[in-house]
Structure 1
Amino acid sequence: MIREQIEAKLQAAFEPVFLEVADESYRHNVPAGSESHFKVVIVSDCFAGERFLTRHRAIYGALKEEMADGVHALALHTYTQKEWQGLQDVVPASPPCRGAMRA
């Protein structure tokens, strides 16, 4: 499964203290069973001193094969351990799908 591939690559690249990868494909107008939209919450001190854009580019770099082979979108929430303190219950929800939802 693609979710497990994403988790393994992010674990190896960033050694996170917390990692959650959620398949949100069901929220989008895609065929049933698609694995194309994911929400990633990752906490790693590898992000210390880095802007969010730099963090996101690093994640996209680690997942370049998945992005080229069917993953359409990642909702990325990247934190250092210090930033993560007190945020565990307030991670933003992913934005609604811009396309029509399946009935």
Structure 2
Amino acid sequence: MSKQQELIARLTAAFKPHFLVVENESHMHSSGRGANSHFKIVLVSEHFDGLSKVARHRKLYQFLAEDLAQGIHALALHLYTKEEWLQREETTPKSTNCVGVGH
């Protein structure tokens, strides 16, 4: 199972998402940290109801603390309640390229 598949399985079990996308964006970065170093997570869950954006991020960082200690260098987190998600016009936020890519 790839790291991306593992993250999907664990996030699904823990957060029972309404919507979930996990993208391995390591290829977009020039950090030299490897193929499983940068991930974008778009997660819509009722577990975020009543939580501020900062509290949601803390919750995910705590959940993924071991992964961050063992090779994941960066996470782009887009965390929504179901109500917030349904009010959005775009489905998956776009990512920015690393400054060092292509230079």
- Write out per-residue CA displacement over residues 22-41 of structure 1, whole angstroms, 9 at most, x where no aligned residue: 01111001459611101100
1:76 Cα deviation after fit:
0.4
Residue type at the aligned position of 1:37: H
> Is 1:10–1:59's contact at 8 Å kept on the other side of the alignment?
no
Q: Partner residue of 2:17?
A: 16
After alignment, is 84-93 or 59-68 more displaced?
84-93
Structure 1 Cα separation of the partners of residues 21 and 38 of structure 2: 14
Give matches, 1:7-46, under 5 Å.
7-31=8-32, 34-46=35-47
> Is 1:24–1:39's contact at 8 Å kept on the other side of the alignment?
yes
Q: Partner residue of 1:101?
A: 101
Q: How many residues align?
A: 102
Identity fraction in percent? 42
Question: Which structure 2 residue ranges, 5 or more long, are not aligned?
Answer: none
Q: Which runs of 4+ in 1 moved over 3 A?
A: 30-33
> Is 2:24–2:38's contact at 8 Å kept on the other side of the alignment?
yes
Give matches, 1:38-57, under 5 Å.
38-57=39-58
CA-atom RMSD in angstroms: 2.0
Q: Partner residue of 2:4?
A: 3
Structure 1 pair 31–63 and aligned structure 2 pair: CA distance change class (3 A): same
1:65 Cα deviation after fit:
1.4
TM norm structure 2: 0.86
> Is 1:28–1:102's contact at 8 Å kept on the other side of the alignment?
no
Residue type at the aligned position of 2:14: A
Structure 1 Cα separation of the partners of residues 80 and 13 of structure 2: 17
